[in-house]
A and B are shown apart, each in its own frame.
Chain A
Amino acid sequence: MLANPEAFSHTLAGAPDLAEVKGQPHAKRALEIAAAGSHNLLMSGPPGTGKSMLAQCLPAILPPLNEHEALEVAALYSVSSQPARTVFYQRPFRQPHHTSSGVALVGGGARPRPGEISLAHHGVLFLDELPEFHRTVLDVLREPLETGHISISRAAQQVDYPARFQLVAAMNPCPCGYLKQANKRCADCSEAKALKYQSSVSGPLLDRIDLQIEVPALPKGLLSSHDPDAETSKQVQQRVIQARQRQLDRQGCANAHLSAKQVTQHCQLTKTLSQLLEDAIERLGLSARAYGRILKVARTLADLAGSQQIEQAHLLEALSYRQLERRLERSV
């Protein structure tokens, strides 16, 4: 039982490999960025395009936990009476169902216990079918997403649990799921209905999601094709580990966890680029928080490319990952 080789491999048993996901190069790229900088990710697209599968690939491409982090995670599992972790250095992956309550997510109870966000500490919290979660439940995630810990106060005692998790969410663009699909009937989803569905994810929560991408339906003929050169999770993980190491050497944490002060220090832009970003922020109506988060994503892109400085291409790509928010913004 002790000498379980599984315990030290970094792939979750039964989890898919990135090479098994057909097509979706754009989404795979976003997944790699999310893994490299520990950024939050939202995938939107019709059913059956591989959103959940992509999310399940994430633990295998994330850099493994270091010993201190692994011990923190194991301690959290230990106090929550969860079965002991079999994969010690693997980042945890939690996928609560959309009927989960707020307390189940953040922790609590008369005798406080850690919730899903704490069990996803240093790992991934995957919320599939994001708009199906109750809005109040989703909004409890706002503060821990920023602070990385959660204080639970009850009459008898106050406890503080760490909760530095990476949020990955998946959603359909409308209730029936097939909005604007050429070959599918989107029965009675008007544009307004689709927007109502999408806006059940609150603006402040969306604001905290750095990467928002669309995962479109697969083009014809791709399903039966087999791409022998498809990159495996292992290959992507190598690049992610390198990019993460650059971040740790420079600032001691992942880019997504940079403080405001560190952002000004490490994410410096040239004069033309900062002008470009200011214009974009104004035109897209993004918040000051979004400004910082775009800079962090651009920093991750530069790290993935091995570049010291944030280039124009990095900044533009970072801006392109804010599409869902923009669409909702336009509709108001």
Chain B
Amino acid sequence: MSLAVLYSRAKLGIEAPLVHVETHLSNGLPGFSIVGLPETAVKESKDRVRSAILNSGFDFPSQRITVNLAPADLPKEGGRFDLAIALGILAASGQIPLALLDKYEFIGELALTGALRPIDGVIACAMASGQAKRRLVMPTANQNEAALCKQCECFVANELLNICRYFLNAEKLSRKQIKPTMLTHKTCSPCSPIQKPFLTRLPARLI
């Protein structure tokens, strides 16, 4: 399969509109282009994604890569789409399974090492993903913010590799019921206001 469609979220005021990150690998002169009104930080994500994929031990496909961020007329800013673009390339090139990716949304900026960096506007993303009934995968550094939104099922990770391992094990997971150790599964239980500190109720991080 040379096409992958993942979900991510943009930032517009205090809203977080859904963005489809479509990645297509085709034959031709190797190249990498991002379309869909990306501003500078998004265009630069090409270099971050390439290095992050290579430094996480995966292959960067030497094919013609086209990434479309839809809707095309919504301005996209910041490094928040890095994670979705990287996973899109890995899924389109068959290095991680495509099957479960549409149950998740991905936000996070990548470092060249493959580490995940925090982004802003996570609460709005978490609320929107919760309403869309999808799980949200995000950098560990943003977990405190996401924890405030109780209807969202959030996963946090430190590195791109952790997330890839999680999806590579996902098939085994459903059969053997192995707990994912690479990711912290963090569902916020409803909290009563004021009296009880809700942040302390989160399960401790597993990694």
- B-binding residues in A (CB < 8 A): 1-5, 7-8, 64, 66-67, 70-72, 74-76, 78-81, 84, 88-89, 111-112, 114, 156-157, 159-162
Contacts and interface: CB of A to CB of B under 8 A. Distances in A.
B89 interface: no
Given A88-B148, A112-B13, A159-B13, A78 B194 contact: no
Interface stretch (B43-51, B174-182, B195-203): B195-203
A111 B124 contact: no
A130 to B, nearest CB: 28
B173 to A, nearest CB: 27
A74 B123 contact: yes
Interface of B: 11-14, 75, 77, 120-124, 127, 144-145, 148-149, 191, 193-194, 197, 199-200, 202
A74 B150 CA distance: 13
A78 B77 contact: no
Contact of B120 (A1, A80, A160): A80
7 contacts: A1-B144, A8-B194, A70-B148, A78-B120, A78-B121, A79-B11, A79-B121
B123 A64 contact: no
Contacts of B13: 79, 112, 159-161
Contacts of B75: 156-157
Nearest to A118: B14
A75 B75 CA distance: 20
B200 A89 contact: no
Contacts of A162: 14
A75 B199 contact: no
B12 A3 contact: no
B19 to A, nearest CB: 14
A71 B77 contact: no
B12 A157 contact: yes
Nearest to A2: B199
